[in-house]
Structure 1
């Protein structure tokens, strides 16, 4: 793996018809966020070879909105990514190192935010970069990393729908 995209699902409705958190769909804003992020990632040459997507409705719908920007991508719905902590997410990243040149992990906070912070700390990112991520990991945001041959992640960027001109 040479590139890693850690992404939080786009904005979801506050409730689901069934009442369960896992079944919450994207809001209209979230659908737009996901489209915007898919285009922005593709324009930057970040086309995943493999996308690991939480089985929650909002993450699957985020992927559905994004996937046209990328073309053919292997996608795996992963129930264990639903509200997974950082160590579980890291396990998925490490298990996929040999499968993809560019890996997208599409999941939930606080796990996505925590893992991005861990990678920044491990790579001795600058205080300015640490401060940027400390401000939060909004819906639809993506932390971008370059991965070296030893599997170490180095910060490449942080995109949010808001910084791209979309909704917060």
Structure 2
């Protein structure tokens, strides 16, 4: 059964107003939060073998720090189509995945809408529908392959945010 790890990029900086949105980097909190989420994935045994990544600087930096926490760097495909993508564009990109466990990192509002609609039953977690920065949901696909992925059919097996994980330590 394919598994999806769906992550919103970590907190980005707004220090340089001259930068285009796609070029905004992570701020210090975002850098720390991304490492936290990578360590959480490793601790839980959610180890991706493929990454689908938006082409923005903040998603690339998020992945860089997540892989520090994971201790590995999976096969990565950077997709311009995931930059500020709608939920339907995210699903279209996901249908082309080839890994058994795929980490997809993108942006709100599309990623939050995708998570809510992809789940058969959204978790009762208070942040799931808001999908804050670096929020991460883990889904087990109710299909044999990515091409058959559909909205409303997939089990959320875990969800976490860096704020709650860092509060536990």
Shorter-chain-normalised TM-score: which range?
A: 0.7 to 0.9
CA deviations on 1:109-168 (whole Å, 9 max, x unpaired) are 001100000012xx1x16x6376523x1110111110113344421112110011016xx
Aligned counterparts of 1:72 and 1:13: Cα–Cα separation in 2: 24
Displacement of 1:66: 1.1
Name the counterpart of 1:161: 162
Aligned residue for 2:124, secondary structure, equals helix
Aligned residue for 1:14, secondary structure, equals coil
Task: Give the CA RMSD over aligned residues.
Answer: 1.9
Taking structure 1 as reference, are residues 76 and 16 closer, same or farther at Cα in structure 2, changes over 3 Å only? farther
Aligned counterparts of 1:83 and 1:89: Cα–Cα separation in 2: 10
Name the counterpart of 2:11: 11
Name the counterpart of 1:51: 51
For the pair 1:94 / 2:95, whether they are aligned, the reply is: yes
Alignment equivalent of 2:141, drawn from 143, 147, 150? 147
Give the 4+ runs in structure 1 shifted more than 4 A: none
Name the counterpart of 1:34: 34
Aligned residue for 1:144, secondary structure, equals strand
CA deviations on 1:40-88 (whole Å, 9 max, x unpaired) are 0111111111101111000000001111314241011111110000000
In structure 2, the gaps of 5 or more residues are none
- Residue-pair matches, total: 159
In structure 1, the gaps of 5 or more residues are none
**So what's the TM-score if we normalise by structure 1?**
0.87
**So what's the TM-score if we normalise by structure 2?**
0.86
Q: Do the aligned residues in 2 keep the contact of 1:86 with 1:114 (CA within 8 Å)?
A: yes
CA deviations on 1:11-65 (whole Å, 9 max, x unpaired) are 0002446421111000000000000000101111111111011110000000011
Name the counterpart of 1:63: 63
Q: Do the aligned residues in 2 keep the contact of 1:9 with 1:59 (CA within 8 Å)?
A: yes
Aligned residue for 2:14, secondary structure, equals coil
